[in-house]
Amino acid sequence: MQLTKPSLLTIVFCLMLIGSEILVQIRQQPSDAAKPDLQTFLKQQPEGWKPISGSTVSPSTQNAAYDLVASQIYKSTGGKVVSVLMTWSYDGFHRAGHPQEGCYDAQGLEVTKALNGSAMVGGQKIDFVTFSGRYGDTIEDVIYWRVTGGIHDATLRENISMIKRFQEVPRILIGDIPDNIMVRVSTWRPATDPPSTAHIDYIKSYLQSLKPKTRHILTGL
């Protein structure tokens, strides 16, 4: 059987992808770069918000999905409550922050279609993915984004596309495996109430209150 040019290119493309995956496995070692101090980041709450006692989860390397995980619940002086989750993985290819709408669905919540959203923070726009999850008479409104290799990522794709993996082959060949940070912020409301903006209000205040270096680590912006 004679191979056509498109078929030959497809075979070469697939072989390169397979080879890159093998290299990732061979080179898959913890990054030498400093791990982000998620717990310290979470303690830097903005004015008007206070942590709820006992809600902190210390960063742990025991989580199967991520290398570091930390979370905190905050309450505003006006009574609004939000939950903040941060994760970090040294391998941003295979252990990137999971699409959260899929995680909520797997936990049995009735999840709305995920959409792209954005908010202005000090004159700079930050993009995020937004959706809601319903459990009984309670709805959780959620936003999240990821930062892979220092680049802001708020896509709706559940997996890294084949084209994206192919574009990253040069980085893999030299052992430059990017890390990944995910930030998720959510709030709860009765199912009869309209969508809440408490989580968006919080993240705008939070990011605005951070030093530029910390804000860059958490957003890539």
Note the pLDDT of residue 132.
97
Distances (CA, A) of 61 to 38, 173, 176: 12, 27, 22
β-strands 81-89, 49-51 pairing: unpaired
What is the overall mean pLDDT for the chain? Answer: 82
Q: 191 near 109, Cβ under 8 Å?
A: no
Residue type present at position 209: S
User: Once rounded to an integer, what is the mean pLDDT over residues 5-27?
Assistant: 56
SS3 track for the chain: CCCCHHHHHHHHHHHHHHHHHHHHHHHCCCCCCCCCCHHHHHHCCCCCEEECCCCCECCCCCCCCCCEEEEEEEEECCCCEEEEEEEEECCCCCCCCCCHHHHHHHCCCEECCCEEEEEEECCEEEEEEEEEEEECCEEEEEEEEEEECCEEECCCCCCCCHHHHHHCHHHHHCCCCCCEEEEEEEEEEECCCCCCCHHHHHHHHHHHHCCHHHHHHHHCC
pLDDT at 175 exceeding the cut of 60: no
Q: What is the pLDDT of residue 50?
A: 93
Mean per-residue pLDDT, 184-201? 96
Q: What is the pLDDT of residue 63?
A: 56
91 has a pLDDT exceeding 60: yes
Q: Which domain holds residue 56?
A: 5-219
> CA-CA distance, 121 to 93, in Å (whole number)?
28
Give residues with Cβ within 8 angstroms of 117, minimum separation 6: 127, 128, 129, 130, 143, 200
Q: Is residue 179 a contact partner of residue 89, using CB atoms and an 8 Å limit?
A: yes
Stretch 46-73: mean pLDDT: 76
Total of domains in the chain: 1
Task: Using pLDDT thresholds of 50, 70 and 90, give the confidence band for residue 80.
Answer: very high
Summarised one tens digit per residue, pLDDT across range 151-168 is 898 887 544 555 555 555
Q: What is the pLDDT of residue 59?
A: 54
Identify the pLDDT of residue 122. 84
Instruction: Please name the amino acid found at residue 57.
Output: V
Which is more confidently placed, 77 or 23?
77
> Taking residues 88-116, what's their average pLDDT?
89
Write down the pLDDT at residue 26.
Answer: 47
What is residue 137's predicted lDDT score, i.e. its pLDDT? 96
Question: According to the model, what pLDDT value does residue 219 have?
Answer: 96
Q: pLDDT higher for 136 or 64?
A: 136
